[in-house]
Amino acid sequence: MTGKRMSFAIFGNDYKALEPVQIREVTDYLTERNAEIYIEQLFYRALRKVFSGNLNIAGTFDGVNFDVDFAISMGGDGTFLQAASKVGAKETPIIGVNMGRLGFLANVSPTEIREMLDDIYKGNFSIDERSVIQMELEGEPVASNPYALNDIAILKRDNASMISIRASLDGEYLVTYLADGLVVSTPTGSTAYSLSNGGPILVPHTGTISLTPVAPHSLNIRPIVVSDDVVIRLEVESRSHNYLVAVDGRSGKLREGTVVVIRKAPFKVRIVKCRGYHYFATLRDKLMWGADTRERED
């Protein structure tokens, strides 16, 4: 890769623009390598407020209007999900620099930035491909981005009563959930919203999806894990006659009677793995498995 002039699209958020040291380190490194640097437009505007001097970039971009070799997400997992939603079917490899707190997806620490970029230019890296799910609405188009790397959630609105969600898998009736909502999660998203509702942890590349109810009315209702090849059909009834659907946190209102169909997307999100990354080690570290949380005596 050393003989090719490489190009990078950088994503971030306004809050992290107030911590410009790592961002400057990335842009300086790539400038030294004569790379083409493009920065997401809103993030660039935030950076201009805190940076002194010029940023040596090839340009800015808005939405999905970019075509590069690599995307760089600078923030937490929320920023990574935003970047993944913009990359979409392009399947551009994403480098996740963790400037947040937890960082399951953004797995490169700020101290590892230069080492990671060195490896990129040497071709010394691997790609972790993660499955994606997509939302469809029967009989009508989806107005927003329908793809989720983490999860798609059906939720009641604000203080409304619980909703009824009739779920079918490949045309076979499963159950009707009476609950505050339902989270349909990929393995990647199983350590996010689904986990906080008692859902199972799904190991990546297992070809599975979980359905986890949110505050179900019946204690007999439990999460279920199914093959990611199934087509999930959800019919929702609500006393308020509408409900919310959140696709990786991007929420919108749907009217009662709108049928949601969820299936595996025809592409995957490609994550650049940092050197020494191991999924189970990350799981132990982030969830503090085995840690003694009892108060220690001096």
Q: Where are the alpha helices (DSSP H) in the chain?
A: 20-32, 41-50, 77-87, 113-122, 193-196, 279-287
In the annotation, is 77 catalytic? yes
Q: Strand, helix or coil at 75? A: strand
- Which among 14, 28, 77, 170 is annotated as catalytic? 77
The closest of 138, 134, 142 to 228, measured between CA atoms, is: 134
**Do residues 88 and 145 make contact, with C-beta atoms less than 8 angstroms apart?**
yes
Give strand pairing partners of 198.
Answer: none
And the tokens for 188? 């990647």
Task: Report how far residue 248's alpha carbon sits from residue 253's, in angstroms, rounded to the nearest whole number.
Answer: 15
Length of the chain measured in residues: 298
Q: Per-residue DSSP letters for 255-282?
A: ETTPPEEEEEEEEEEEEEEPTT--HHHH
The closest of 287, 167, 153 to 224, measured between CA atoms, is: 167
Task: Report how far residue 213's alpha carbon sits from residue 183's, in angstroms, rounded to the nearest whole number.
Answer: 6
Catalytic residues: 77
